Amino acid sequence: MAGVWLGATPQSAGFMTSGGTESILMAVKAARDRLLTERQIQQPNMVLPTSAHAAFAKAGAYFGVELRRVAVRPDWRADVDAMREVTDKNTVLIVGSAPQYPQGVVDDITGIAKIAIDHDINCHVDACMGGVTLAYLARLGEKIAPWNLQVPGVSSISVDLHKFGYTSKGASVIMYASKHLRSFQGFVTDDWLGGVYGSSGMLGTKSGGSMASAWAVMHFLGDDGYLRLTRQAREATLQLATNIRNTPELVLRAEPDSTLLCFGAKERAALNVFSVADELSKRGWYVDRQTPPDSLHCTVNAIHHDKIDLFTRDLHECVSIAITGQSSGSVGTYGTVE
């Protein structure tokens, strides 16, 4: 079912995982093992923009793959030429996002995948946030740059069903262009006294509940449901973008390509946006905090389609309070470690 969204072919094959982080971990592990097996690369590296998800750093630390982070362009998209320059004989993976999380823009997947073709390496597209939305935005008539497995050179792609698939937590999909590429994800051993042991991902035992829940929700919503929800979420995103644009103290970091939106203070010295976030929290609104640069991030869902005016009213009030210096705020932590 997810393969339809991701541009899968009859040769494609995938696995379910517990979430976007595990999907990304598995993409890195598969790339490392494929190039170790086929070209005996002993000191692997991966090339990725600074906007790529932190889970790639986690994967590098887990699997011994060097990270080569490349600064993004002024429009926050991956700098393909700069990525090509640092790709070498030990590179096993190159990464793009559709969209990247921090500013909500889609990388040049075609350009990134061409590097993978030229070096015969893996290319992973992190579409955990956009894999559902971009597919249905195209169905709704929006012009979407190529981003999925239909792009030559893309070897794997991930999408979280528990994000814009609106299923319960614990359901992500990683899809590979072929079963051969997928074969490097799993782990099999009989080197113990219990017989053959095999697993497709990081987890051994995992719940079937999230998978069953995802299956049920996806069947319940169907194409018509996802078209409706995508339309509502996109309209809400564009409405919020317009409202931010019309707020003198604030500035959009980028025009949103899907349903993620990021904004900050037009003059940092005059406004602490984290103070704005604190005030919004008091009114029941939760927004992510990001840096650098200091920014607030909104993941806009279909449920927000009739709430943007209310949010904007509260946002203006919170900005006014923050400007007076009556509240102070600081950047939070994205994660689960205190």
Q: Annotate 24-72 with DSSP letters as a single string.
A: HHHHHHHHHHHHHHHH--SS-EEEEETTS-THHHHHHHHHT-EEEEEPP
What mean pLDDT, rounded, does the chain reach? 96
Residue 82: per-residue pLDDT:
98
How confident is the model over 115-128, as a mean pLDDT? 98
* Residue 223, number of CB atoms within 10 A of its CB: 10
Residue 205: per-residue pLDDT:
87
Q: For a pLDDT cut of 70, what percent of the chain falls above it? A: 97
Residue 113: per-residue pLDDT:
98
How confident is the model over 314-332, as a mean pLDDT? 84
How confident is the model over 153-166, as a mean pLDDT? 98
Please write the tens of the pLDDT for every residue from 12-37: 999 999 999 999 999 999 999 999 99
Scanning the structure block, which residue is given the tokens 């790709």?
87
Report residue 205 as tokens: 């035992």
Q: Is the pLDDT of residue 222 over 90?
A: yes
Q: Is the pLDDT of residue 143 over 80?
A: yes
Q: Is the pLDDT of residue 334 over 70?
A: no
Least confident of 42-46, 53-57, 87-91, 326-330: 326-330
Parallel, antiparallel, or unpaired: how do β-strands 66-70 and 45-49 relate? parallel
Residue 330: per-residue pLDDT:
72
- Collect all residues with Cβ–Cβ distance below 8 Å to 328 and sequence separation of at least 6: 272, 275, 278
Scanning the structure block, which residue is given the tokens 């799993």?
186
Residue 289: per-residue pLDDT:
96
- 27 burial type by CB count under 10 A (0-12 exposed, 13-18 middle, 19+ buried): buried
Residue 335: per-residue pLDDT:
64
Amino acid residing at 326: Q
Q: Is the pLDDT of residue 235 over 90?
A: yes
Report residue 9 as tokens: 């072919």
Q: Domain boundaries in the chain?
A: 2-206, 233-323
Please write the tens of the pLDDT for every residue from 194-208: 999 999 999 988 889
Calpha distance 184→253 (Å, rounded): 38
The candidate with the shortest Cα–Cα distance to 112, out of 62, 70, 171, is 70
How confident is the model over 179-188, as a mean pLDDT? 97
Angle, alpha carbons 41-47-51 (nearest 5°): 155
Q: Is the pLDDT of residue 153 over 70?
A: yes
Report residue 192 as tokens: 């113990």
State CA 21 to chain mean position distance. Answer: 9
pLDDT bucket at 149, cuts 50 / 70 / 90: very high
The candidate with the shortest Cα–Cα distance to 123, out of 97, 154, 145, is 154
Calpha distance 277→285 (Å, rounded): 8
Tell whether domain 2-206 is in CATH 3.40.1390.10: no
Task: Give the helix ranges, DSSP H, for the chain.
Answer: 2-5, 20-39, 55-63, 80-86, 109-119, 133-139, 179-182, 209-245, 273-282, 308-323
CATH class of the 233-323 domain in this structure: alpha beta
Rounded to a whole number of angstroms, the distance between the first and last alpha carbons of the chain is 37
Scanning the structure block, which residue is given the tokens 């790639």?
56
pLDDT bucket at 160, cuts 50 / 70 / 90: very high
Calpha distance 8→105 (Å, rounded): 23
Calpha distance 33→36 (Å, rounded): 5
Instruction: Give the predicted TM-score (pTM) of the model.
Output: 0.94
Q: Is the pLDDT of residue 329 over 80?
A: no
Contact 13, 155 (CB under 8 A): no
The candidate with the shortest Cα–Cα distance to 108, out of 68, 59, 70, is 70
Residue 338: per-residue pLDDT:
59
The more confident residue out of 284 and 337 is 284
Residue 331: per-residue pLDDT:
72
Please write the tens of the pLDDT for every residue from 33-79: 999 999 999 999 999 999 999 999 999 999 999 999 999 999 999 99
pLDDT bucket at 332, cuts 50 / 70 / 90: low
Give the residues across from 193 on adjacent strands: none
Scanning the structure block, which residue is given the tokens 């999925």?
148
Residue 328: per-residue pLDDT:
65
